[in-house]
Every structure is written in C-alpha cells, then in structure tokens.
Amino acid sequence: MPQIKAAVCTGFNDPLAIETLDLRAPLAGEIEVTLDAVAICHSDIHFAEGGWGGDLPAVYGHEAAGRITALGDGVAGLALGNRVVVTLIRACGTCANCAGGRPTICDTPNPGPSPLSRADGTSVVQAMNCGAFAERVVVDQSQVVPLPEDMPAEAVALLACGVITGIGAVVNAAKLRAGEDVVVIGAGGVGLNAIQGARIAGARRIVAVDMSDEKLAIAKEFGATDGVLASAKSPWRQAHKALGRGADAVIVTVGAIPAYNDAPRYLGWGGRMIMVGMPHSGAMAEYEPVMLAYMSQGMTGSKMGDVVLRRDIPWMADLYRQGRLKLDELVSGRWSLDQINDAIADTKTGGAKRNVILF
C-alpha cells in the first residue's frame, strides 16, 4: 500500500500534524490523483476548529488540482495523466436531485470507508470526500473534471470550490439577469468570485460590503462598482443610495451572523437573498418576516453555487483562458505542505484571498 505525507487534524483547534499515512488503491469507480496544488478554504479552517463537529483524526482540504495516476475498474471518460480539478462534490448520478441537475445535494453520495489509515490500521477520516491536504488522494470519478494543460495548477485548484461557489451563487442560485443590481456581503475568496459572477452576468451595479477598506479596493479590481464599509451606521442605506433602490440580489458569502441579520435590509422589491456563507452549527440569525412577505422577497440557500461540474467548470476555465475571469490574481501566497499551519494562520488574518499549498 503506497504511503503519502498528509496534514492531519488530531484535535480541534490544534495545529495540523504532518504524518505518513497509508493510501489504499482506487476501488471500482474511483481514481487516484497525485496533487500539484491545494488551496486553503475557510471551510477547512472551520472544520479544524470543530465548528461543524466531525470525527478525528481527519485530513481536510478540498480545493485541489493534480494528475490521475491510477484508475479503478469501471472508470469512464478519464485517463492516466489527465490534469483534473478535484472537488468535494460526490454524486451518485441517479437520485432525484442528481437527475434534476442538482448534484451538490445528492441524496446518496455513499462515500464508504476512508481510503486513509495510519500504519497501525487506525482509520483517518477523508474529510469532505477529499482529504486533499496530502500528496495524493483517492476520490470518486464524479468528483473530478479534466482541464486544459496550459492552466497553472493554482488556477485549476481554485475552480474546485471558491470560484464555482461564488459565480454559481449569482448565476445558478440568484439567476441574475442582465441589468439587475447586486450586493455582495464579504469580499474574501468567495465574495470576489460572486462579484466576478455578477460582472460576467451583466449586472448594472455591484456593491461590495466588507469590514476592510483594503478589501473593498480589491473588490473594485474584480468588478465591484461601489464599496460600503460594513462597520458604517446603517450600511444598507449607503448601498441603496449607490443603487438608487434596493438590490435585486444580495449574496452573503461570509458566515458572520451580523451579516445575515442585515442582509434582507439591502433588498428591494422582489429581491432575493442567497445564503452562501456557513456559520458554525447552532448559530442563529434574526429577521423581520413581514417585510419579506410584503415585499415579495425570498431567501435561498446555495451549496457550492448549485454547480454542475461538467457543465460549469469547463465554461469558467474557458473564461479564464479568454482573460475574462481572474484566477491568478486570487492567489495570495504559495506554501509547502510543511508550512500549512503558517498558511492557515495567514488565512485567518482575513487579508488573504487564497493561500495555496504546492507539492
């Protein structure tokens, strides 16, 4: 059984430990991918902090890129050496949600036993169906999409989560129409991609809301027309002034409860709030339901941008190759696996767009 280096979480809020683990060969329908890059998402950090529970020891990481180095029986449409993006979206392809074009909420993902273990036989959780803070992964064939050779590994990795989540929230969940107005709360990795999605979809105006002037300036580089400090008094009033009315869509890309409490106040008549950012389990928000009812507004959750991998990722990759989608500019720093705790600490400061581990 091959051995790999991986960053293992052995205790919530503890530093990750670099361990040598056993990785079993791919079973039927699975592939092995030797990774070139994996980005650090805030979801990985929240899991490692225990924000959503889960079993330990575990390997996190779910925004990855690499090459296929082994194939299980029955794998179709993929070949050894293919460069692929590796996602956490494992889909059966046959349940009602998959058949209806919603693989992100597959009813029967059926992950089975983890392919990771310690030398003594202890099973190590492959978190989020990926476990990509590691040199290699074994995943289901439904989790990957082949991408062009001329794309840098970092750009490919970013298409696994933050990019598809942000763009998908606007295009798939909000179903934004050209000429509509958008407010994006949070100008981090997902928020910047929601801004890009709104620009690509033809939004009239895009208002970024964040706690940092620096991040609001970056948001304008990605397509925001206006910026509002979330710490201002009644920031939604400033957004209404910039738009001349309430927003058609508000995309909440952060898991902060104050952001969720305020989000409906940015909406105009018939507006919709898209809930992307994920607070810790048990956190509660408050809103005034009579306003949503009277103004015909709505709230919709969006997991991973409601993406359909084989449809949406090639489209976004093509936009990148045309120069219409910024990916390289999202990378804040490049680190080695041995530096992963430093990379996580840097991500926690809030200044990083995406830190990437290179192998």
Instruction: Output b/e per residue, 282-308; b: 16+ Cβ within 10 A.
Output: eeebebeeeebeeeebebeebbbbbbb
Which residues neighbour 63 within 8 Å (Cβ) at sequence distance 6 or greater? 38, 39, 40, 41, 132, 157, 158, 160, 161, 162, 354
- Greater model confidence, 69 or 42: 69
The pLDDT value given to residue 353 = 81
Would you call 253 helix, strand, or coil by DSSP? Answer: coil
The residue whose two tokens read 């763009």 is 167
Q: What is the pLDDT of residue 224?
A: 98
Pairing verdict, β 136-140 and 206-210? unpaired
pLDDT of residue 15: 96
Q: Which domains does the chain have, with CATH numbers?
A: 3-159+327-358 (3.90.180.10), 165-302 (3.40.50.720)
Mean pLDDT of 249-257: 96
Nearest to 354, CA basis, from 182, 185, 188: 188
**pLDDT single digits (tens) 297-325:** 999 999 999 999 999 999 999 999 999 99
Answer for the pair 63, 160: CB distance below 8 angstroms, yes or no: yes
- Do residues 69 and 34 touch, judged by C-beta distance below 8 A? yes
| Residue in 50, 8, 10 with CA at minimum distance from that of residue 135 | 8
Name the DSSP class of 239: H
Give the pLDDT mean for 122-151: 95
pLDDT for residue 248: 98
Whether 39 has a pLDDT exceeding 90, the answer reads yes
> Residue 163's pLDDT is what?
96
Segment 4-26 shows an average pLDDT of 96
Identify the pLDDT of residue 30: 96
pLDDT at 114: 94
Is the pLDDT at 352 greater than 90, yes or no?
Answer: no
**How confident is the model at residue 14, as a pLDDT?**
95
- What's the pLDDT at 108? 83
How large is the average pLDDT for residues 284-308? 95
Examine the pLDDT at 293 and tell me if it is beyond 80.
yes
Q: Are 87 and 160 spatial neighbours (Cβ–Cβ below 8 Å)?
A: yes
Sign for the CA dihedral angle at 140, 145, 147, 153 comes to negative
Percent share of the chain, pLDDT over 90: 91
The per-residue pLDDT for 4 is: 97
Q: How confident is the model at residue 109 (pLDDT cuts 50, 70, 90)?
A: confident
Question: Tell me, what's the pLDDT at 51?
Answer: 87
Q: How large a percentage of the chain has pLDDT more than 70?
A: 100
Q: Residue 260 pLDDT > 80, yes or no?
A: yes
- DSSP-derived secondary structure letter, 173: I
Q: How far apart are CA 300 and CA 186, in angstroms?
A: 17
180-192 pLDDT, tens digit per residue, is: 999 999 999 999 9
Rounded-to-integer distance, Cα 134 and Cα 90, Å: 19
321 conformational bin, left if phi > 0, alpha if psi -120 to 50, beta if neither: alpha
Residue 112 confidence class, pLDDT cut points 50, 70, 90: confident
**What is residue 349's predicted lDDT score, i.e. its pLDDT?**
84
- Helix (H) / strand (E) element for 44: namely helix 42-48
Place of tokens 């408050």: 286
SS3 327: coil
